[in-house]
Structure 1
């Protein structure tokens, strides 16, 4: 069975969120679905999108695992964003959390060193 992931993040201020996610993800959206929705394809068939839905803003929680967490965090820092929280679990898995202007949390995880 083929699987696709299309994970949504509701935002109150679409323009501010668009700018913030461009900085976090290091690129403009892969495509703009409408005047109120922008999509980043993180990997084939795996996308995250922001959508202007102020009544739901601030409640999203997503974790994305990347091949090289340290490189991702360093690149985000170079663009002006630092994690709000970093964790290492007993099994060595590490995570770095970022919180957007609405309070949505997007975490990036990586395998143990």
Structure 2
């Protein structure tokens, strides 16, 4: 069975969120769907999007697993963002959490070293 993922992140201020997510994700959106919605394709058939929805802003929680967590965290730091929390689970899986200005939580996870 093929699986596509289109994960939404409600934000209160589209313009400021757009700038923040460009820093977090390291690129402009893959496409802009409307004046209040932008989409980043992270991998084939796997996308995240921000949409201005002030009443729902701040409640997203997404975790994205990557091959090289340390390199990604360093690249994001070079763009001026630092994790709000880092965690290592007993099985060695690690996570770095980022919070956008609305409080949405975007975590990047990586396999044990």
TM-score by length of 1: 0.99
Per-residue CA distance 1:20-69 (angstroms, 9 max, x = gap): 00000000000001111000000000000000000000000000001100
Q: Give, in whole Å, the separation in 2 of the partners of 1:58 and 1:79.
A: 22
TM-score (norm 2): 0.99
Deviation at 1:101, TM superposition (A): 0.3
Gaps of at least 5 residues in structure 2 are none
**5+ long unaligned stretches in structure 1:** none
Q: Which runs of 4+ in 1 moved over 4 A?
A: none
2:84 is matched with 84
Instruction: Find the aligned partners of 2:48 and 2:106 in 1 and give their Cα distance.
Output: 10
